[in-house]
Every structure is written in C-alpha cells, then in structure tokens.
C-alpha cells in the first residue's frame, strides 16, 4: 500500500533538482526535530502493529542517536542516487528523466518516488 504525504512547496519550483531540494529540506527538518525517547519499556498496541503492517514496516519510530541529518549531505546523496538510477520520479503519469529539465508542479499534482533495488543473483 502506498502512503501519500502532503508537502507545502514554493511556487518557483522549475526543475526536479529544485523539487528534491524543497522536499529534502522539509524531511531533514522533520527528522532533526524528533527527539530521543527514553522509555523504560516500549511496546506497540495491536492497533499500531496492524496500521504499520499495511505499509510493510513495523517499528517503534524512535531515534537511538542524537546525531542530526545534514541537509547538504542529504541533497548530495539524493542527486547522486537519481543520477545512478537508484530511484525514479513520476509526476502524475509522466516520468522525469533529467534532473535539470523544466518542471511545472501545480497544486494537487501527484509526485511519486520509486526506489529501485537490485536483485540478488549471478551476473
């Protein structure tokens, strides 16, 4: 099951590079604002387990380190990942294949990030 995430984007996004920058900035900020939990005993309710199982990952959502994400390193990793073909980006039904190509994002457009994984096996 895919999960939609809403983002408030600036009006002046003109390329995939700028879109990545805006989304990564928000995600790094959200990640860095989370605190380390110091729960003595942690548990998930049955409802939480069922909700998390629909997206394929069950976890406590905690941070075990106080290390903060670095915006520049995250942005560099995203650019490199796109150039290396580790993920694809689709806006509505159109794949964006160049990071600097002109891009027109409107309200209610659906942007899909597809992470590609390599299959194990022999060459």
Residue 52 lies in a domain: yes
> What Cα–Cα distance (Å) separates residue 43 from each residue in 3, 46, 52, 61, 100?
24, 10, 13, 11, 45
- CA distances 74 to 37, 58, 60, 81, Å, are 24, 24, 23, 10
- Could you tell me if residue 56 is inside a domain? yes
Residues 74-115 pLDDT 10s: 999 999 999 999 999 999 999 999 999 999 998 889 999 999
Report yes or no on 45 lying in a domain: yes
Cα–Cα distance measured from residue 16 to residue 4, given in angstroms and rounded to the nearest whole number:
19
Task: Note the pLDDT tens digit of each residue in 27-77.
Answer: 999 888 876 555 445 667 788 888 878 877 777 766 566 788 899 999 999
Given this model, what pLDDT does residue 40 score?
47
Structurally, how many domains does the chain consist of?
1
Domain assignment present for residue 20? The answer is yes
Which phi and psi (to 5°) does residue 91 adopt? -105, 115
20 pLDDT above the threshold of 80: yes
Is 120 a domain residue?
A: no
Q: What pLDDT is attached to residue 85?
A: 93
Query: Domain range for residue 46?
Result: 16-115
Residue 10 lies in a domain: no
Q: In terms of DSSP bridges, do strands 94-96 and 87-91 run parallel, antiparallel, or are they unpaired?
A: antiparallel
| pLDDT of 123 over the 70 cut | no
Q: Does residue 23 form part of some domain?
A: yes
For residues 12 and 78, what is the distance between their CA atoms, to the nearest angstrom? 20
In a domain? residue 7: no
């Amino acid at each position: 099951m895919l999960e939609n995430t809403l983002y408030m984007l600036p009006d002046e996004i003109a390329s995939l590079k700028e879109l990545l920058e805006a989304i990564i900035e928000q995600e790094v900020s959200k990640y860095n604002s989370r605190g380390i939990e110091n729960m003595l005993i942690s548990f998930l309710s049955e409802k939480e387990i069922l909700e998390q199982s629909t997206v394929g990952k069950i976890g406590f959502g905690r941070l075990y380190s106080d290390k903060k994400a670095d915006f520049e390193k995250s942005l560099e990793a995203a650019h490199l990942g796109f150039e290396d073909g580790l993920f694809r980006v689709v806006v509505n039904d159109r794949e964006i294949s160049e990071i600097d190509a002109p891009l027109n994002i409107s309200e209610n457009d659906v942007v899909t990030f597809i992470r590609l994984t390599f299959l194990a096996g022999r060459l």
